[in-house]
A and B are shown apart, each in its own frame.
Chain A
Amino acid sequence: DSGVTQTPKHLITATGQRVTLRCSPRSGDLSVYWYQQSLDQGLQFLIQYYNGEERAKGNILERFSAQQFPDLHSELNLSSLELGDSALYFCASSARRTGSNEKLFFGSGTQLSVL
């Protein structure tokens, strides 16, 4: 068990809908990362938050947004869903001291199916 909790484990929804994925980082970790894993694109970095602030952005669509709350949990919001958004969404956390490289601890993911 990595200590990172993601809910829900599975989500089935329809095109055009909006969903929220939730992540609780490991105790004490200040940094949260979101990744998307699909069959044709592998594991793609979406966005990173550190202590409530956005720190880095990757290949995140404008229809997607995220935030990190004062208690350090994070939510990834996906709107106007398309079939191609079906994927595994992972959250990872690290202590992320500024300027350091650290290993990430991943949750078990949320499997999103858009029908």
Chain B
Amino acid sequence: GESVGLHLPTLSVQEGDNSIINCAYSNSASDYFIWYKQESGKGPQFIIDIRSNMDKRQGQRVTVLLNKTVKHLSLQIAATQPGDSAVYFCAENGGSYIPTFGRGTSLIVHP
């Protein structure tokens, strides 16, 4: 049959708005989570990580929230800028120390 392309969820925001990117993870054994940003033509770049003994962690303009009860992770970007336009991936370790990546969300920031 035909192969289906990877249809990424897309989030479009205006410059200066706050962005929230969501991720559902699957493995209840996961105790370490990372958000990566991938710009066109580049490899994934580390943004922020969080361990399962925390439910919130803040970085520069970014905050990660972890809800283990519903296996949900979110990345909040404050005052989104055009340079934030990229595909964002969450990754979980599944208890094995090998990051397993989600499908990704495309963030488009309009000036």
Chain A positions near chain B (C-beta within 8 angstroms) = 2, 4, 33, 35, 38-45, 48, 56, 58, 90, 92, 96, 99-101, 103-109
Chain B positions near chain A (C-beta within 8 angstroms) = 3-6, 31-32, 34, 36, 41-46, 49, 51, 89, 93, 96-104
In the assembled complex, the Cα of A32 lies from the Cα of B106 at a distance in Å of 27
In the assembled complex, the Cα of A44 lies from the Cα of B6 at a distance in Å of 13
- Assess A100 versus B5: contact at CB under 8 Å? Given A42-B103, A108-B41: no
In the assembled complex, the Cα of A90 lies from the Cα of B89 at a distance in Å of 15
* Inter-chain CB contacts under 8 Å: number: 63
**Beta-carbon contact of A39 and B5 below 8 Å:** yes
- Shortest distance in angstroms between A47's beta carbon and chain B's nearest beta carbon? 10
**Beta-carbon contact of B46 and A45 below 8 Å:** no
Closest residue of chain A to B46 (Cβ to Cβ) is A103
Closest residue of chain A to B33 (Cβ to Cβ) is A101
**Beta-carbon contact of A40 and B98 below 8 Å:** no
- Shortest distance in angstroms between A36's beta carbon and chain B's nearest beta carbon? 11
